[in-house]
Every structure is written in structure tokens, then in C-alpha cells.
Structure 1
Amino acid sequence: MAEAERTDGSARERTITGARVVVCSPGRNFVTLVIETQAGVVGIGDATLNGRELSVASYLTDHVIPNLIGRDASRIEDVWQFLYRGAYWRRGPVTMSAIAAVDTALWDIKAKMAGMPLYQLLGGKSRERVLVYGHANGKDLEHTVDEVLRYKEMGYEAIRAQSGVPGLATAYGIGKGDMYYEPAGEELPEVQEWDTRAYMTFVPKLFERLREKVGPETKLLHDAHHRMTPQEAARLGKSLEPYDLFWLEDLTPAENQEAFRLIRQHTTTPLAVGEVFNTIHDCRTLIEEQLIDYIRATVVHAGGITHLRRIADLAGLYQVRTGSHGATDLSPVCMGAALHFDSWVPNFGIQEYMMHTELTDEVFPHDYRFERGFMHCGETPGHGVTLDEKLAAKHPYKPRQLPVARLRDGTLWNW
């Protein structure tokens, strides 16, 4: 066979012949993109955007999929550029989550066609296992201490601690169950009351007690969830310095990247931010001025593996490490891809890991596993996660929205 004929045959096999969006709710809503090639190789990508799932599903179905049919699935970079530059209306969570789904599915296909686990295509492993942190959430201080100790018994070396705040009926991070935290409510958002002063008075007491109980070795993390002004954030970071946190996350909304200059001047507590970031432009100042220690952008919301690599490479130049978002509002598809990314990326820091329900794991069979505080990606070609579409169809979409927060005087605040 002539070389040209062999090349043409391979190209035909790589041609995208079909794509579809699967929206299901096995305990919570997920959006999954399925891409098929002429050779019968199938790739899947996560497109979940918590509380706005159908917006991404529509973007994919109405605008993206018609532009995929007939394209070469191996030309991942060209497809990424087409979907980003070609749309003209760039960036934003809906667009970048849709692009991420395509990108993840194409990397899945490419790795399957190569007969390799995804991390091999990225350049091979930089580590043998991936450090993860779990979520210990309690209704009050003592309950949170008990939960942290429970996570230690499960083998976690890094634990995020969130607690109810005295005087407030609700607080971010306090789940409705023991293991499977889900903040989204029914069709209309739950309104939660917030008091920054009460919170800032309480949190140092929480971590003082936790250090007494777990000693100096356990890595403790905390999420402030964008609810403070820069000055308040600086004060909180300083007040927590005696308790040696692994990181303090999302202190203040980072649309104002320069705000972290003030915070950095006043505290040495390590800072993490970025789970809501969509592109490298959202964190460029934070990274280049070394205003953060960990960048939390994730595969599904930051344009897929292709774009997250660019963010990580920029961060690596400034000794900023990765700490990708990994809550249960990301499907196992995203977790599988993230673990291959984490295994490769040289400036890895930590990976958030929240366990999915048994039903979710049945809908999304996967080969990754948790062992004593660490995650291990599998060796299956691709990212190692599949979708049981028949089972998914038994669990249709259910409208849900994330809560909102108001101050005690009724002012809408950052949840």
C-alpha cells in the first residue's frame, strides 16, 4: 500500500462521525459529551456547570457539535483554537466548559487510538500517586473536630475543615449528609444568612482546637468562599498563621486580581484561588506577581486539558503549584482526566477529591482509585472513565440551583 493511501485511511478512521450530549441526574446533575469516530473509537468529556447545566448542553448541541462532524479527531489543538477563536464571543464559563468537554473527549480518543493511558501522551508521570484532600464538615466546632478525626482514620493526610458559625443558621460547606456534600437546592436558590465578623471571630478558634487534636503533621485547609473584602481577608490570613494551614482558599473575589497584593503584604498563610476561573487571563496577574501559592483552575471549567496545561506552565515559571477543584459538581469523567493531568504536571500541589455516590459511580464506571490519602489514575487507554448511557437514561435531569447569601440587613453577598 502506498504511503499516501495508508495516511488517507488513518485520517478517515479519525474522522468525527457523531457527537451527542447526555444530561443525567444520578443524585446530582451531570452533562457529558460523547464523540464518535469513523473507526468506532468513542471519547467522552465532562461539561457540567453546576446550576447552569442546560446552558452548556444547549451550547454544545446547537453550536459546537455541528462544527465537529467531519473533523479529524487527532487535531486537538486546531479544534480548540477553532472553538475559542472562531466563536468571536470568547471566554466565560459556558463557552469554556463546552470547549473543555470537546477537548477532554478528543484527548480520550487520541489516547485510546495510541493504546496508552492519557498521562503517557502528556509526557509520562512526574509522580507515582496524587495527594488529595477530603472535606470534613461539621455543624459546629466539636462536630467539625470529630469529622476531621474521621477523615484521618480513612487515611487522609490533607483535610479541608468547614464548620457552622455560632449565630448563623447555615454556613457554606455544611453538607446535608455525612459524605456526599451537595449545596444545590431545588428549582429556586436557598437564601443563606451571612455575618463576616462572626465568621472571622470563630475560624481561628476552630483551627486552634484542630491543631490541638491532630498535631502538626496533618495538612489542614480552609475555604473562605469569596466572602471577604481584601482587608478582611488579610486579617483572617494573619490570624490563622499560628495554625500552619496548608492553604486558605478563595478569600475574596479574584476578578480583582490586584486585591491579592494587599492580602500578600499582611499574611504568610499560603493562598489558593481559581476554581471559577475559565482562562489564563483570569489568573495572569496573580501568577506573574506571585500573589498566590496554588492555582485551582480545573479541566472542565478552564477549557480542558489543552488550556489547563498552559495555565500550569505559566504557574510553574513562578513556583505556583496546581490544586485543582474536584468537588462532586464535576463528574467522574473530569476526575479521571484530572488525575492523569495531576500525574503528569511537574508543578503539582494537591487535588481536591470528594467521593461521588455509589449511583454516580455506577453511571460513570472508572479505573481510578483512592488509597490512604492518595489517588491513583488507571492504566486503561484513554482517561479511564466510561458512561453507562442506559443507566443514565433512568435518571433524568432535575432543575437545581446553588444557594445565594445575604447579610443580616438583607444585602446580597457572595455565597
Structure 2
Amino acid sequence: MTEIVDYELFEVPPRWLFLRVETADGTVGWGEPVVEGRSKTVRTAVEELLDTYLLGEDPSRIEDHWQTMYRGGFYRGGPVLMSAIAGIDQALWDIKGKQLDVPVYELLGGAVRDRIRVYQWIGGDRPSDVAEQAREQVDAGFTALKMNATEEIERVDDPATVEAAATRLREVREAVGDEVDIGVDFHGRVTKPMAKRLVEKLEPYEPMFVEEPVLPEHNDALPTIAEHTTTPIATGERMYSRWDFKEVFEDGAVDVIQPDLSHAGGITEVKKIAAMAEAYDVAMAPHCPLGPLALAACLQVDACSSNAFIQEQSLNIHYNETSDVLDYLADPSVFDYEDGFVQIPDGPGLGVEIDEDHVREQADGDVDWHNPVWRHADGSVAEW
């Protein structure tokens, strides 16, 4: 039996945390455990889990390790713990695939596809210049885009705000035509009364989906919002386990789930969430505005999940101002996009090779990203 003998954590720009796990036979597995803006908190959780449960253990018992990390603590769930588990889980699968010399998807039943469609972000945090950016991305070969619906928005806002959101989507639709899909992200910024108005106003321009129309703590409002549109409803980036997703499957309001492979328990858990979704005829588009390890983990699950239909990725996203996805890869061509698709990486483990020297160099700097705190005109905190 080989055993886990060491691990290291690297906070790297723009806002990522990488985990390196090493076994006694020299195999190295990588994962990406992070909550954007809370990397130091998650780092401590990862250290606690590895020191308490995994050092000295056989890395191949992935399901048992997952259950131990999750159920071994009386208090469980939530973004910090589940993100810590997720990154460790990714690293364990990377190790297992490398030791058996196969990609992870081969260990999960084999591939149902050779490649998957990806979408590209446009417009930034406060959406602007969306039509021109949309044209540029379509010219670059993307066939699907995503944009924020609004900037900060009041609990009950004026008609001009609703009209501005509709105008932005209309301009993008007119710029790219009907053969390009456009996802619209409400980002949890919108309250139930405004979400009802917005989904009706956006519907004529046929968005691919409206994402997180309300915060996940208000998922009970999704059936009401769904009654106001035929546009697919998407949510899930701030839901962390199959138990969080159970309610939205049962009430039937959600059409697309978006679990994050670095937040929702990793490969082990998201494969189970995908299977649950399939039973309810719900599609999957994993959330991934993160780094190369998170994306590689997503693609391994996409490869063997028949209900996965499109993949988020963060190349050139507005958050990546100092470093980008490809900077940390020894072979960036693994994420070459062609005709709006990316091939499923077929190398062993996660299928990507990390440039470890570059990671160590970047980790020497000060990385302290936090999302902005927005405020309404009256000074109260707005949802970002």
C-alpha cells in the first residue's frame, strides 16, 4: 500500500488556492480547494482535514475518505468545508488516475462524449459594452456567451432598470443573431419581485438560461418565478451537496443545475448530483470561474455525465487581471477551444500537467482577493 505522506497549499493570483498531495511512491495529485475571497479560511480547513484524517492513509479509498471528511465531523456542509473536501477529492482522483495511467472519467464509467461546448463571459461585473464584446467572442469561435443581467439593483426598482437589462440583452442578440446562445446571470443580486419582472422582460430575446434569479436561500421562490417565463432556470453555484440540490429537483422549477467542482464536494459528489439531476430531466452546466484544476475536474465529470450540456470556463474573465488559466499549465494546448468546444483531457488523472515552478513562483507574492462590497444609494449593502 502506498500512503499519503505530504501536502502543500499555494495561494496564487488572481484568487485561487492550489493543493499538492504526494504519496510514498512519489505520485503527485493536484486539486483546487477555494472559496473566492476566503482562501485563507479554506486553507485552514484543508490543513485540518488532511492532518486529522488523511496523512498516512491509502489514497485509493476515495469514497471512504469523502465520507470520513464529511461525516466525521458533527457539523458539516457549507461553502468552507465542502470546498476543502472538494479540492482534496480532486487531488485523490488525480493520484488514482495517474497510478492507474488513465483519465479520471475512465474510472467513472467511461466517456459519453469526446468534447463539450464552452461559453465565454462578456460585459464584466457591471455589464457594459456587451454587444461589441459579443461580436468579438463570436468572431473568436465561441457559440455561447454569458453576461450579468444587472449591476446592483434595489429590492423594488424602477422601470428604467428593467428596461436597461432588456436593452443590453437585445443588443447582444441583435449583434450575434439566433445561432448563438446567451446565458444571463442574475448573480443573486435580484429579489423575487424584480426577478419576476426581469424574466418576463428578457424572454423575447431567448436567453439560454437565467442563472441564480434569486439567492439560494430563497429557492422556494423559484417555482413562482418559473411561472413567469419559459426561459430555462439555472442555479447551483452556491449549493454544496446533493442534499442542497434535493429540494430544487423535487419542486421541478430548475432546468439547469450548476454545481461547482471546487465547492460542491469535488468529483465524487458532483457525479452523484449529476445522476440525481438526470433522474429529474435536469441538465447540468458546471460553474467554473476558477483555475485550471477546477476546469479539468469539471471536464472529467462532464465526460461521463450524459446530462452535461455546456461548461463555464474563466479564460479572460473579468476577475483574471493578473494571471489566467493557461499560465499555470506546462502544456496550455490541453484547453484549446475550437468551434466553441473543448476536448476532454485524456491524460492520466485530471489530464493536465501543472507547471510547478510557476506555481511556486506565483505563491511567493501577496494574494488577498476579496469581492467588492456594493452599496445602494441610501448606503445599505447591495448584493454583489
TM-score normalised by the chain length of structure 2? 0.91
1:364 to 299, 322, 329: 329
Deviation at 1:301, TM superposition (A): 0.2
Task: State how far apart, in whole Å, the 2-side matches of 1:280 and 1:140 are.
Answer: 32
Q: Which has the larger radius of gyration?
A: 1
2:18 to 13, 19, 32: 32
What's 1:16 paired with? Answer: 4
* Native 8 Å contact 1:406 1:412 kept in 2: yes
1:353 to 313, 318, 321: 313
What's 1:412 paired with? Answer: 381
Task: State how far apart, in whole Å, the 1-side matches of 2:10 and 2:129 are.
Answer: 39
Deviation at 1:141, TM superposition (A): 8.3
* Native 8 Å contact 1:17 1:69 kept in 2: yes
Deviation at 1:281, TM superposition (A): 2.2
Cα pair distance change 1:29/1:207, threshold 3 Å = closer
CA deviation vs aligned residue, 1:18-66 (integer Å, no higher than 9, x gap): 22222223xx132111111122111111012111001111111234334
1:56 to 25, 37, 42: 42
Task: State how far apart, in whole Å, the 2-side matches of 1:296 and 1:193 are.
Answer: 26
What's 2:93 paired with? Answer: 107
Deviation at 1:258, TM superposition (A): 1.1
2:366 to 397, 403, 412: 397
- Paired residue secondary structure (1:240): helix
Cα pair distance change 1:386/1:65, threshold 3 Å = farther
Task: State how far apart, in whole Å, the 2-side matches of 1:23 and 1:136 are.
Answer: 26
1:376 aligns with 2:340: no
CA deviation vs aligned residue, 1:301-336 (integer Å, no higher than 9, x gap): 000011111111111111111111121xx2201101
1:331 aligns with 2:291: yes
What's 2:197 paired with? Answer: 235
Task: State how far apart, in whole Å, the 1-side matches of 2:271 and 2:226 are.
Answer: 26
Give the partner amino acid of 2:112: S
Task: State how far apart, in whole Å, the 2-side matches of 1:90 and 1:401 are.
Answer: 24
- Paired residue secondary structure (1:73): coil
Number of residue pairs matched by the alignment: 374
What's 1:272 paired with? Answer: 234
Moved more, 81-90 or 359-368: 359-368
TM-score normalised by the chain length of structure 1? 0.85
Deviation at 1:194, TM superposition (A): 9.5
Task: State how far apart, in whole Å, the 1-side matches of 2:115 and 2:379 are.
Answer: 46
Could you say what the CA RMSD is over the residues aligned between the two structures, in angstroms?
2.2
CA deviation vs aligned residue, 1:214-246 (integer Å, no higher than 9, x gap): 222111111111122222212211111111110
1:307 aligns with 2:307: no
Structure 1: 5+ residue stretches without partners: 1-11, 166-170, 173-191
Cα pair distance change 1:142/1:325, threshold 3 Å = closer
Task: State how far apart, in whole Å, the 1-side matches of 2:356 and 2:164 are.
Answer: 46
1:386 aligns with 2:353: yes
Structure 2: 5+ residue stretches without partners: none
